[in-house]
A and B are shown apart, each in its own frame.
Chain A
Amino acid sequence: MIRFNQVSKRYPGGYEALKNVSFNIAEGEMVFLTGHSGAGKSTLLKLIAAIEDPNSGSVLVNNQNVSVLKEAALPYLRRNLGLVFQDHKLLFDRSVFDNVLLPLQICGFDPRESGKRVRAALDKVGLLKREKLNPIALSGGEQQRLCIARAIVNRPAILLADEPTGNLDADYSREIMEIFRSFHQVGATLLISTHDQSVLEDEGVRRITLKAGELV
C-alpha cells in the first residue's frame, strides 16, 4: 500500500532528513514509525502526502508514484489519505461539526448524507455532544480527537498520524490509540509516528525506526 524505494530527502541548506530509505507497508497493516525527534519521521509522512518531494528514489502509494504526480492530481491523492497532525490544524472560525464536515464538502459529498457521516465520526471519537462548540473550547486531547474525526470522516484507505499523542498524558494517549485500533480493525492502513513509550509498549504492532534519517 505504501512503498519507499531508496528515498532520500535533502532540505535546502544541505540538511539530509532521509537517507536511502526503503520499506513496504501492506494493505490493512498498522505500523508505528519511531525515532527521536529530528530523526525524519515528519519528513517521511510529508513525502507520502506529497507535501514534500523526495530528491531521489520513489514513493508509491497504492502503486502510484506520488512524487511525479501533477499538481492537479494531488487533491485526489490526498482524499485517500486521512491526516492527523500533531498541531491539529483545526479551524477556529467554525464549529466542531463544520470542522469535520470540511473534507466531505471538499469531496462534493451529498449534504443530506454528510450530516450522518459527520455525527458517526464524532461519535467514534466521543465528541458527539460537543458538535456545536468552537474547537477552541476543547481540551488538548479533545482537539486531537477532533482532528482524528476529520481524518476518518470520509473513510480513507490510509491514515497517517504525526505524533498524535505528542502533548497528551497517558490516559488521553490510550483513548486515542483505542480509536486508531478500531479504525485498523475495519481494514484501514495506518502509519503512526510516535516517540511516546507508553504507546510503543503495545505488543504485536510492527515498528519502523528511524535514526538520523536512516532506517534502523
Chain B
Amino acid sequence: MTGKFSHQRFLIQSALRRIFASPLGGILNILVIGIALSLPAGVYVLLKNAQTLAEQLPGKPEISLYLTAKINDKAIESIRTRLAQHPEIAGSQFISRDDALNQMQQDSVLGDVIEVLDQNPLPDAFIVAPRVASATALKTLRDELAQWDGIALAQLDSDWAYKLEALIALGRMLALILGALLSLALIAVTFNTIRLQILTQREEIEVARLIGATNAFIRQPFLFFGAIQGLLGGVATLLILAAGIRLANVPLADVAQLYASDFRLQALGWGDSLSLLLFSLYLGWLGAWLSVSRHLSRIRPQ
C-alpha cells in the first residue's frame, strides 16, 4: 500500500511540476479554466441569492378581495359565509374600512396624507388564504371570486412572486446552457494542453514503451495532469467568485439600504464549492483522457 501511495504522490508532484514548468503558461491555463467556470457558477450564485430573496417575501399567496363602496353588513356576512364554505379556501380575514384607515394612520408618511382627506377612501376587504398553490389554480380562483356580488376587485398578491420564480427558472436554464458550453471549452483547453504535453514527452513515452510500460502506466501522468489542472482551475473559480461577491456587495449594500433591507450576496456554500471542485477535476480528467486516447496510440517505438 505504501508503494501505491508513494507512486501517486510522485504522480501528483510531477504533474504539478509540469503544469508550472513554464509558470506563466501554467497560470494562464488555470486562469482560462477559472474564468470559463466562474461565468456559469456566478450566474448560479446570483440565482441562489434571488431565490433566498424570493423566499423571504410573503411566501404564501393571498387574494385580496376589495368590496364595493356602499356594501351593507348583510352582503358582507353573506360573502364571509360563502368564503368559509368554499372548498379551495383555507381561511379568510375581514378588514373593515375603518380598521384599514386606522392602520394607515399609524404609518408616518401615509398618515399625513390621510389627515388631509375629509372622508375614508378605503373599501372594506377580505384577505383570503387559498388552499391551492399552483399559479393557474390561483388565477382561476381569483377570477371566480371576482365574479361574486359585492366584490369590486380581486387581487392575487403574490402574482409577482410567481413571475420572479419563472424568471429564476429561465435563469437556471441559461446557467445550465452556459455551463454546458463552457465545460466543453474546459475540456477543449485540457485536450490541447495534453496534446502538447504528449508531443513534448514523445521520447519519454517511446522509451517507456520499450522498457515494458503498459498503456495505463503511460496514460496515468497525463490524467493526473489534466485532473490537477482542472482542480486548480476550480480553485481559481472559487477565488474569482469570492472576489466578485465581495466587490458586488459594496454597492449592493447601498441599494439594499434604500429598500431598508440588509440583503447581501451570499457566497457558495461548502457543499456547492466541493461539487464545483470535483466537477472541474472531472472535466480536466475527461479532457486529458480524450486527448490521451486520441494521441498516445500514434506514438510507437522505432
Is A72 touching B7 in the complex (CB atoms < 8 A)?
A: no
Choose among A81, A93, A106, A112 the residue that contacts B217 (Cβ–Cβ < 8 A).
Answer: A106
Q: Which residues of A contact B203 (CB under 8 A)?
A: 89, 91
Question: Which of B91-99, B171-179, B207-215, B226-234 lies at the binding interface?
Answer: B207-215
Alpha-carbon separation in the docked complex, A77 to B10 (Å): 26
Cβ-defined partner of A78 (8 Å) among B2, B10, B212, B302: B212
Tell me the minimal C-beta distance from A157 to chain B in angstroms. Answer: 13
Residues in B4-22 with C-beta less than 8 Å from chain A: 6-7, 10
| Residues on the A chain within 8 Å of B3, using CB | 108-112
Residues on A facing B (Cβ under 8 Å)? 49, 51, 72, 75-79, 81, 83, 89, 91, 93, 102-103, 105-112, 150
* Number of residue pairs A-B, CB distance < 8 angstroms: 55
12 chain-A/chain-B pairs, Cβ below 8 angstroms:
A75-B213, A76-B212, A78-B210, A78-B211, A78-B212, A79-B211, A83-B210, A102-B211, A103-B212, A106-B212, A108-B7, A111-B2
Residues of B within 8 A of A112 (CB): 2-3
Q: Mark B1-43, 1 if CB is under 8 A from A, else 0.
A: 0110011001000000000000000000000000000000000
Interface of B toward A, CB cutoff 8 Å: 2-3, 6-7, 10, 203-204, 206-215, 217, 301-302
Q: B interface, by DSSP: helix, strand, loop or mixed?
A: helix
CB-defined contacts of B301 to chain A, threshold 8 Å:
51
Excluding A72-B215, A76-B212, A150-B211, 5 further A-B contacts by CB distance (< 8 Å) are A77-B212, A78-B209, A79-B212, A105-B10, A106-B213
Q: Which residues of B contact A110 (CB under 8 A)?
A: 3
Q: Chain A: which residue is nearest B18 at the CB level?
A: A93
Whether the pair A91, B204 counts as a contact (CB closer than 8 A) is yes
> B204 to A51, Cβ gap below 8 A?
no
How close is A9's CB to chain B, nearest CB, in angstroms? 15
Q: How far is the CB of B294 from chain A (nearest CB, A)?
A: 17
Closest 10 CB pairs of A and B: A79-B212, A78-B212, A106-B213, A75-B212, A75-B214, A110-B3, A103-B211, A111-B6, A89-B207, A51-B301
Complex Cα gap A111–B1 (Å): 11
Docked complex Cα distance between A191 and B212 (Å)? 19
Residue numbers in A under 8 Å from B215 (CB-CB): 72
Expressed in whole angstroms, the minimum distance between the Cβ of A80 and any Cβ of chain B is 8
